[in-house]
Structure 1
Amino acid sequence: MAESMQGLHRTCRCAEVTKEMIGKEVVLMGWVQKARDKGGIIFVDLRDRSGIMQLIFENGSIDEEGFAKAGKLRSEFVIAVTGVVEERGGAVNKNLATGEIELRVKSLRVLSEAEVPPFPIEENSKTKDEIRLKYRYLDLRRPDLQKNIMLKSKVMMLTRQFFAKEGFLEIETPMLGKSTPEGARDYLVPSRVHPGHFYGLPQSPQLYKQLLMCSGYDRYIQIARCFRDEDLRADRQPEFTQIDMELSFVDVDDVIDVNERFLAYLFKEVLDIDVKLPIQRITWQEAMDRFGSDKPDMRFGMELHDVSDVVKNCGFSVFTSALENGGSVRGINAEGQGAMPRKKIDKLVEFAKGYGAKGLAYIAIAEDGTRKSSFAKFMTDEEMDALVAAMDGKAGDLLLFAADKKKLVYDVLGALRLELAKQMDLLDKNEYRFVWVTEFPLLEWSEEENRFTAMHHPFTMLMEEDLPLLDTDPGKVRAKAYDIVLNGNEIGGGSVRIHQDDIQERMFEALGFTKEAAHEQFGFLLDAFKYGVPPHAGLAYGLDRLVMLMAKVDSIRDVIAFPKVKDASCLMTQSPSRVSEEQLKELELEVRPEEVTE
């Protein structure tokens, strides 16, 4: 039978009790982790968000009724206890902050009884994700998840403190805005008052924060909720949180400077890690050439080697035909993997095919210097020697090659590099390697739309010296865009914005927008720019992804209180769900019945 608190007040949380409080009376409240009845004495582990305290119930220190109640305690009962802090009578538990002390209980109240939970409430749960997410309110009681959620709260608090000191104003922007689907799909919200019209939930506060710069607010910050209706991956959710900022009268270096100091502050305060400043910068082209990725993991080497010139006249047609078609031949050296079994190499070939490769060529160099290769018979010994030398190959190494269009070669070898690093155990979660990637291409060609699209967004400023290329060779124009990458994850990105009318107009032309189309989508921003707009730039972090890396977990679901699963549904609330005919009628909407196909 549940009891009330009846004026009882908690004096502290479980793990806030210290040795200095021995002999003092305290009131604790929380959940029963486990109970052990040893006959005349009962031990109970009491858990709250701070940790665990061992309680001891013994006849003489608690009345018979209280002792009888203690004997009926089960996992997840919610209780309140009053007792005296003592030194532990038994063995010290070095794994607990409270491992040297216990609480001798004088009175017990059972605030709430609990059914047996569908899975144990314990760290590193082996329970299937589907079950845990269905009962997320129980899953969130697990100490490791609580630690992640509290870490995220601390990051948000420190973020606000840092940027407030730097002169940023926290300003909220609307959730219900105009749908501007240049990028991912928008989530649409139908309007009851304006039938047939829809709001778009923000993919980011981009346009509003630029308007705030037009309005003279100078430095803006927001921890902003954002929404994207796109296919999900382990590190993506349909709704997520950004640390979003915009600054006036700045250029690239100014944005990078304040953000480097922010990251150094955050990692020192939260993890006691010193981030070495300045953070290394590499251009997008250098990142692609060296790592096959615009979000390179810098914790290990295994960089790409361009061997196109070495093999351009060789007898292996896979290499030469790729080059004749304007492609590239590149390789990576998996040092010390020369003895890898053929079956394992075949698995790497299949992995590469998953990224579009037709295959992988390889040279395995044994410890005695002898070589096994998938293509040696097509090349002379001199050509093979030159290729091994170009790859810095030595005894015991495995050399892997991809030959195709440049983009595909980058994709394949970039992914293969990471896969090998996992297999070779080169990824240390305790090491944090930051890098800025700068000078992204301004535009990328969309085969689907048969036009150039903005790699970031249509308001990204280009490198001034590339302005003539906007009309003659748009694909070569570099942007004043920058990403901050941590351990192979893009945690934030931004750019300097276009604030000059003539450049913005040329940008829209390069993207295939007519003046009318540009005004239809972005008219309010373009109008605002007529009334005096300062040079401005910004950046946004994916807060969930940043915290995921700080918490050393593999999915952003482990740092979000109530995440969605891969199909964007919530297993706990069973959303999305159908709504009543009355609601649809009010919105002047009609749901078409699903077509039944035979």
Structure 2
Amino acid sequence: MHAYRSHTCADLNKSNAGQTVRLAGWVHRVRDHGGVLFIDLRDHYGMTQVLADSDSPAFGSIEKLKAETVIRIDGRVKARDAGLVNPKIPTGEIEVYVTDMEVLGAAEELPLPVFGEQDYPEETRLTYRFLDLRREGLHHNMMLRARVVKSMRDRMWAGGFTEFQTPIITASSPEGARDFLVPSRLHPGKFYALPQAPQQFKQLIMVAGFDRYFQIAPCFRDEDPRADRSPTDFYQLDVEMSFVEQQDVFDAVKPVIQGVFEEFSDGRAVDADWPLISYADSALWYGTDKPDLRNPIRMQVVSEHFAGSGFAIFAKLLEQEGTQVRAIPAPGGGSRKFADRMNAFAQQQGLPGMGYIFWRKAEDGTTEAAGPIAKNIGPERTEALRLQLGLGEGDAAFFLGGKPETFEAVAGRARMEIGRELGLIDESTFKFAWIVDFPMYEKDDEGKIDFSHNPFSMPQGGMEALSGDPLKVLGYQYDLACNGYEILSGAIRNHKPEIMFKAFELAGYGREEVEKRFGGMVKAFKYGAPPHGGCAAGIDRIVMLLADTANIREVIMFPMNQRAEDLMMAAPSEPTNEQLRELRLRVIPKEA
């Protein structure tokens, strides 16, 4: 017999009754039933119930076992009585009577329990992540992640893509986040960077004459953490194709993403209709560029109904250039109590509040509008609003006004809050949307023109478009949104050097700087570059959605905490003086 096991803890069933077997695993739980000890023995594959009574030679040793001790047992397989069968586990028809037991790895008192899946402080969970990962929920998530990655890889190969690997140590690149820098020992004073994405390399693969590349790629960005984003590193399904337009990328990627979601949706519906929504329309309708289409509410511009009206706040506001009033329809929200609740929500978000109208049945049987705004603008305007928004008795509408950039994000959050409160969101489905026509440029806080998205994207209209107002230039850039999360981003690339120089010039990068920072790519484009484009899908975020969790750390094997610290490995750590001398670096102490 094998030194440690003849079977795993998921293998045995009724057909094994009477056999002598050897199992190994962790002591998940010990139960004492009046002189009979039951152990739930757990390994990677599953759970088997083993038992010993006072006649067993191993009884005394088993009595002393602590939870999570690793043991090897020998024993005889017994079929359970019909009333004792556990249908929840594959081995529920049998139990193993222990004749011999050996401790392979003793366990001290646990800093957090593995049995029971109780909530525990994240600091403790991350410090003892190796224990946390033994829990059923996390173990399931990690296996789900592995299967998702394999499914992606299989689907990409089946789609005619080839997997290539790109460097991990490279040069700095403006991908929209801070780089992690790596000092060079051989070239003192110079630094490598960990790649924020394989962007330049995958484009160079296209220039080199390969086609339909993909990679399960690690990416490194020094970012502020969020619940749905790692502060240090993440993995993406990286894709690039030659001789393609935007729709070709969509057609190649959709079967992969759709297929993965259908394979691992666990009974949830996966909508096959992926609408194309412009960035401008997405901001208007949903208040975000990653809309959750499970919520059917779509916001609308209703400025004309308030211009010159008796509602002075909005009427005066609309006299200013660039202002709007937008409405959030709330079907089924037609009560003052609900309106007050949503108004309080807006105040929590930092706004003075939200105006509202709700419609109710009048004494004469007709539908009438109620609320402070209705009184101020009169029945004719309120009726026009109701008709535009497609509302009726028992419904409401909420209003926000000003320059869109000042209230759009809050309006988007209010739309989702209203949808949740009214039970309009279908939690049992995945809904996707392509967001297209992103602006190439935006103004930063100091009023300077900068790239708003990927700097290597082809502007719509090429060189001619770059000769006008930069803020009106759209790029061949696109995102894929799913249930309120961005899960994929991509673009058709700018493969023409002169257009690339001009695009960077508008963002304040001179020709020399572009050649210095992206010399390899600029040089390559001078020697015959094909039109090409691609995308990258966030694996961590996709698994997070499939695992039905809102915290990305629940689907990453060894995540950092919110302060970008690895509590288990004590990283980041202070370098030794010897390391600093070798790299010719000096650490400047923090100012007191």
TM-score (norm 2): 0.93
Aligned twin of 1:74:
66
Q: Deviations for 1:26-47, whole angstroms, at most 9, x for unmatched residues? A: 3221111111122332111111
2:51 counterpart of 1:56: yes
Contact in 2 for aligned 1:49/1:143 (Cα 8 Å) = no
Residue type matched to 1:409 in 2? F
Residue type matched to 1:71 in 2? E
> Aligned runs of 1:208-357 on 2, under 5 Å?
208-237=201-230, 238-271=232-265, 275=270, 277=272, 279-325=274-320, 326-339=322-335, 340=337, 344-353=341-350, 357=351
Aligned twin of 2:408:
410
Q: Matches of 2:302 and 2:15 in 1, distance apart? A: 67
Aligned twin of 1:454:
451
2:110 counterpart of 1:117: yes
Q: Matches of 1:469 and 1:181 in 2, distance apart? A: 23
CA offset at residue 56 of structure 1? 1.9
> Aligned runs of 1:162-177 on 2, under 5 Å?
162-177=155-170
Q: Which moved more, 1:161-170 or 1:531-540?
A: 161-170
In structure 2, the CA distance between the partners of 1:29 and 1:439, relative to structure 1 (3 Å rule), is same
Aligned twin of 1:3:
none
Residue type matched to 1:349 in 2? A
Contact in 2 for aligned 1:209/1:246 (Cα 8 Å) = yes
Aligned twin of 1:103:
96
Identical-residue share of aligned pairs (%): 39
Q: Matches of 2:40 and 2:474 in 1, distance apart? A: 60
Q: Matches of 1:476 and 1:170 in 2, distance apart? A: 37
Please, which of 37, 42, 51 is the counterpart of residue 42 of structure 1? Answer: 37
Contact in 1 for aligned 2:437/2:474 (Cα 8 Å) = yes
What are structure 1's unaligned runs of at least 5 residues? Answer: 1-5
Q: Matches of 2:175 and 2:62 in 1, distance apart? A: 62
Q: Which moved more, 1:417-426 or 1:361-370?
A: 361-370
In structure 2, the CA distance between the partners of 1:322 and 1:471, relative to structure 1 (3 Å rule), is farther
In structure 2, the CA distance between the partners of 1:366 and 1:104, relative to structure 1 (3 Å rule), is farther
CA offset at residue 379 of structure 1? 2.5
Contact in 2 for aligned 1:402/1:412 (Cα 8 Å) = no
> Aligned runs of 1:421-500 on 2, under 5 Å?
421-448=419-446, 450-464=447-461, 468-500=464-496
Aligned twin of 2:501:
505
Contact in 2 for aligned 1:133/1:572 (Cα 8 Å) = yes
CA offset at residue 59 of structure 1? 4.7
Q: Matches of 2:353 and 2:249 in 1, distance apart? A: 43
SS, match of residue 508 in structure 2: coil
2:532 counterpart of 1:523: no
Contact in 1 for aligned 2:228/2:552 (Cα 8 Å) = yes
Aligned twin of 1:383:
381
CA offset at residue 479 of structure 1? 1.6
Q: Deviations for 1:35-89, whole angstroms, at most 9, x for unmatched residues? A: 11223321111112223211122355x4x2x121122222111111223333223
SS, match of residue 492 in structure 1: strand
SS, match of residue 324 in structure 1: coil
CA offset at residue 559 of structure 1? 0.4
Aligned twin of 1:544:
540
Q: Matches of 1:439 and 1:181 in 2, distance apart? A: 21
Residue type matched to 1:75 in 2? A
Residue type matched to 1:261 in 2? P
Residue type matched to 1:255 in 2? V
Aligned twin of 1:17:
12
Q: Deviations for 1:395-416, whole angstroms, at most 9, x for unmatched residues? A: 3323211101122332121111
Aligned twin of 2:194:
201
Superposed CA RMSD in Å reads 2.3
Q: Matches of 1:593 and 1:420 in 2, distance apart? A: 50
CA offset at residue 337 of structure 1? 2.5
SS, match of residue 333 in structure 1: strand
Aligned twin of 2:154:
161
CA offset at residue 111 of structure 1? 1.1
Q: Matches of 2:483 and 2:357 in 1, distance apart? A: 29
Q: Matches of 1:426 and 1:100 in 2, distance apart? A: 44
SS, match of residue 236 in structure 2: strand
SS, match of residue 494 in structure 1: strand
Q: Matches of 1:286 and 1:421 in 2, distance apart? A: 19
Residue type matched to 2:414 in 1? L
How many residues of Structure 1 are paired with residues of Structure 2 in the alignment? 583
Q: Deviations for 1:544-566, whole angstroms, at most 9, x for unmatched residues? A: 00000011111110000111111
Aligned twin of 1:584:
580
In structure 2, the CA distance between the partners of 1:428 and 1:592, relative to structure 1 (3 Å rule), is same
In structure 2, the CA distance between the partners of 1:45 and 1:424, relative to structure 1 (3 Å rule), is farther
CA offset at residue 218 of structure 1? 1.2
Q: Matches of 1:423 and 1:120 in 2, distance apart? A: 36
What are structure 2's unaligned runs of at least 5 residues? Answer: none
SS, match of residue 51 in structure 2: strand
Q: Matches of 1:517 and 1:358 in 2, distance apart? A: 46
In structure 2, the CA distance between the partners of 1:234 and 1:531, relative to structure 1 (3 Å rule), is same
CA offset at residue 497 of structure 1? 0.5
SS, match of residue 571 in structure 1: coil
Q: Matches of 2:545 and 2:489 in 1, distance apart? A: 16
TM-score (norm 1): 0.92
Q: Matches of 1:53 and 1:79 in 2, distance apart? A: 13
In structure 2, the CA distance between the partners of 1:260 and 1:272, relative to structure 1 (3 Å rule), is farther
Residue type matched to 1:129 in 2? E
2:571 counterpart of 1:575: yes
SS, match of residue 380 in structure 1: helix
In structure 2, the CA distance between the partners of 1:252 and 1:559, relative to structure 1 (3 Å rule), is same
Contact in 1 for aligned 2:334/2:396 (Cα 8 Å) = yes
Residue type matched to 1:351 in 2? Q
Q: Matches of 1:367 and 1:74 in 2, distance apart? A: 68
CA offset at residue 296 of structure 1? 0.8
